[in-house]
Amino acid sequence: MSRADHRVTAVLGPTNTGKTHLAVERMCAHSSGMIGFPLRLLAREVYDRVVKIKGANQVALITGEEKIVPKDARWFLCTAESMPLEREVAFVALDEAQLGADPERGHVFTDRILRARGREETMLLGSESLRPMVKALVRDAEIITRPRFSTLSYAGVRKISRLPKRSAIVAFSAEEVYAVAEMLRRLRGGAAVVMGALSPRTRNAQVAMFQAGEVDYLVATDAIGMGLNMDVSHVAFASLHKFDGHRQRRLTVAEMAQIAGRAGRHQRDGTFGALVDDGPSAFGPEEVLAIEEHRFAPLEHLYWREGVPDLSSINALIASLELRPEARVLRAAPEATDLAVLKRLAGEDWVRDRVRGQKMVARLWAACGLPDFRKLGVDPHARFVGRVFGYLSEGLGYVPHEWFANEIARLDNVAGDVETLAGRIAAARSWAYIANRADWLADPAHWSARAGAVEERLSDALHLSLTQRFVDKRTTLLMRQIGADPRALPVTVGPQGEVSVEDHPIGTLTGFRFTVAPDARLADKRLLLAAAERRLGSERGRRAQALIDAPDADFTLADDAPAVHWAGHEVARLGPGPSLARPRVLLDRALDCLDRPVQAAVRERLERWIAAQVARRLPALGTLDAVLRDAQASPPLRAVAAGLVDAGGIATRMSIGHAVDALDSAARKRLRAAGVTIGALDLFDPRLLKPEPARWRRMLLAARGVAVSAAPPAGPTVLPRQAAGAHLQHGYRPLGSQAVRVDLAERIARAVHDARDGHRPFAPDPALATSIGMTPDTLARLMAALGFRAARPEDGQPRWAWRGLTRAVQTAPPRDNAFAALAELGARLG
């Protein structure tokens, strides 16, 4: 059943024995050669290697969706299905030949075992389990056994969070792959993803991340078991069951070993294990022993289907594809998708009408070979193939470029999630396959390039989407750096306070407060905070020294709260101190990270700034505060000073009138020197009515817990009673429906007293009150508050008579004020 068997060598053994490397070396030593691989990804990987040896103009790549065949090509790297067996070459090899036992694709590998021959040398590469099949089918073949370069041992069960670095986790469905990758992203910073459905470009980009150490973990399907070379130290099985296209079944021990054997590379030992210690996803003792010792049951049969079917008619084609094999070790292959599609189309009258000669039968069979990349199932895929064949069997026999172009344009969209992009790539593979059939399009080279470009764009987008979804480079880097040496963590702070580890932002340092980047997941925040706290001490120390050395102009007091800002950042708040003029400086919690001596120095610097600002903007308060501590000051003077300081420099005379009346001339002179006006109704410093001193006064009151209402607008002398700030707290005396600024109320009071003649009724000049916007009712209330009573009007003019301030007005000072009590005692003694 074979030809030239005497030239065939079977190289058998477990993974990591260098079988593929040997075949590549042997092929390159011949004048021409061809190797068939089980995966498009593996064919592409070896193609890239051989191109580096022989040059791109002499090396060809042939897969279903991709054909690179230079005019002078002499060495061919192909998928097993795409091997051009009609081409004579000096060397031929078939990799993973034991796949002849696979129900779905086995007949292809069996056919290549039987028919693929090199003019000078042929090599069959596979597992030791293939030995009896080689002996039965290629009787004169030389069998060479190669031992594994390194030891493969069972490492037991490990949770995902405890997997060693350079681990590959194997799952058997896209959903399971994504779930494992997401868990690794949360726990360990992420993982690369490798699946057979990925394009070579996406797969290579993902593997490159793993190989370069950008991620320490790889999540893959059993595609990695087919000879893909990666630097994996440990293989962990997320499951031991897979869907083989017909049913969910447990992996055979040979399949387990094929995948586990990816651990270790060349002379470096590897380990394998599971993620669970019991249940159907756990290894049995016999399985572990067989994998470690590379002992597997020999294959008892291979699947076969006629490799050169009869193309004389549709019926003859179907009959030849359903022939039973003659050899005892061969079994008829289960009905594959291409044969199922052929039978569906054979039942269509229009197909029968068009397929009349051998050439058209061959064309129909070629169309049925279009793979179901999208996994639609036989019926939908048969309809798609039927449409393709309809075009191939009419007119010039070409697929219309309009249809091809429209479908490619529809797929040329990089928006969407991982699943959407993967689906578009699968669809694009169908069109790439069509474009790579030389006689299916009028301009196959153009459309092949167009399909390839779309697949490349989709592949790049899929790689980016996979990376964004399953890789947190920031956390990966932190895990690596923190696990090694925290002091070596390369944390940098940018000009805007952005904190980065190498090129990966982890947060922002605002003043002294570190904030984790908003896009960090909850599971990452503790790690990021730890990383930043370990390395930002020196930067915070530098900022603290800059604060201590800063000029006064760099500090500001907030408008809406008693908070001190430096360089635009809140660094402290003001709290109750010994007096209103001497508030306590409470450092912001963000400064707790500083050493105690540094905190004390920062606090002392802020206290000096506060004292300077009070002396500059509120000079009367500073002077009055000094009077409070002056042992030589009289009790009445100290009582007045206490009342004014407590009220923020504006106090009603009624509240401290007893102490005011007891002041001697020297004390009054001292108050006037401090800037205090002793008015008929209020005591105040007129400078406090200006916007900036007024703002500082409000914030100092707020620091003592006094509720301060909204400030009045700057400028008005009279406000409506319901307006913001229309009360004494802001320097306005409420009088009926209006509130008059205290300095203007005092000016009117003096003008009225200057105009009166003893106790006789008189009519005050209303011009002053009118000029500042006071209504007659407001003036009347002011006159009453000043101690005047209404008299009989004359000539329509209101008249007033002096009656003096009553005892109700001249109330005693509050008894809970120590200085008020002293003032009362001094008055009695006087």
Residue 586 to residue 600: CA distance in whole angstroms: 11
Query: Residue 237 has what pLDDT?
Result: 94
Number of domains in the chain: 5
Q: Using the 3D structure, point to which of 470, 493, 526 is the last residue of a domain.
A: 470
The domain that contains 121 carries what CATH number? 3.40.50.300
Same domain (yes/no): 164, 289: yes
pLDDT beyond 50 at 779: yes
* Sign, Cα dihedral of 604, 606, 610, 615: positive
Query: Residue 50 has what pLDDT?
Result: 96
What mean pLDDT comes out for the span 388-398? Answer: 93
Q: pLDDT of 250-309, one tens digit each? A: 988 888 988 888 888 767 888 999 998 888 889 999 999 999 988 888 999 999 999 999
Same domain (yes/no): 266, 174: yes
Q: Strand pairing of 682-684 and 677-678?
A: antiparallel
Q: pTM value?
A: 0.60
495 versus 164: which is more confidently predicted?
Answer: 164
Q: pLDDT of 606-615, one tens digit each? A: 999 999 999 9
Whether 268 maps to a domain, the answer reads yes
Instruction: Residue 32: count other Cβ atoms within 10 Å of its Cβ.
Output: 19
Length in residues, the chain: 830
Per-residue pLDDT band for 758 (boundaries 50, 70, 90) equals confident
Same domain (yes/no): 91, 188: no
| Nearest Cα to Cα of residue 624 among 566, 567, 563, 688 | 688
The DSSP secondary structure of 80-139, one letter per residue, reads: GGG--TTS--SEEEESSGGGGG-TTTHHHHHHHHHH---SSEEEEEE-GGGHHHHHHHST
Same domain (yes/no): 350, 280: no
| Nearest Cα to Cα of residue 272 among 150, 151, 172, 154 | 154
Same domain (yes/no): 101, 215: no
Query: Residue 814 has what pLDDT?
Result: 43
Q: pLDDT of 482-493, one tens digit each? A: 544 444 456 677
Same domain (yes/no): 159, 41: no
Q: pLDDT of 45-86, one tens digit each? A: 899 999 999 999 999 999 988 899 999 999 999 999 999 999
3-state secondary structure of 269: coil
> Starting from the edge strand earliest in sequence, which strands make up the sheet with 582-587, in order?
555-557, 563-566, 569-579, 582-587
Same domain (yes/no): 501, 427: no
Helix extents (H) in 126-195: 131-137, 174-188
Same domain (yes/no): 218, 276: yes
Query: Residue 612 has what pLDDT?
Result: 93
Same domain (yes/no): 435, 497: no
Whether 624 maps to a domain, the answer reads no
Query: Residue 472 has what pLDDT?
Result: 62
DSSP assigned state of 731: T
Whether 123 maps to a domain, the answer reads yes
Per-residue pLDDT band for 813 (boundaries 50, 70, 90) equals very low
pLDDT beyond 70 at 5: no
Q: Using the 3D structure, point to which of 493, 511, 535 is the last residue of a domain.
A: 535
Same domain (yes/no): 464, 482: no
pLDDT beyond 60 at 383: yes
Q: pLDDT of 219-252, one tens digit each? A: 988 777 665 667 889 999 998 988 877 788 898 8
Residue 115, domain extent? 5-145
Same domain (yes/no): 415, 376: yes
Q: Using the 3D structure, point to which of 269, 293, 317 is the last residue of a domain.
A: 293
Per-residue pLDDT band for 204 (boundaries 50, 70, 90) equals confident
Q: How does 105-120 read in b/e, with b if 16+ C-beta sit within 10 Å?
A: bbbbbbbbbbebbbbb
Q: pLDDT of 82-109, one tens digit each? A: 999 999 999 999 999 999 999 989 999 9
Give the range among 53-57, 76-80, 524-528, 762-766 with minimum mean pLDDT: 524-528
Same domain (yes/no): 340, 452: yes
Give the range among 191-195, 212-216, 467-471, 566-570 with minimum mean pLDDT: 467-471
What mean pLDDT comes out for the span 617-635? Answer: 90
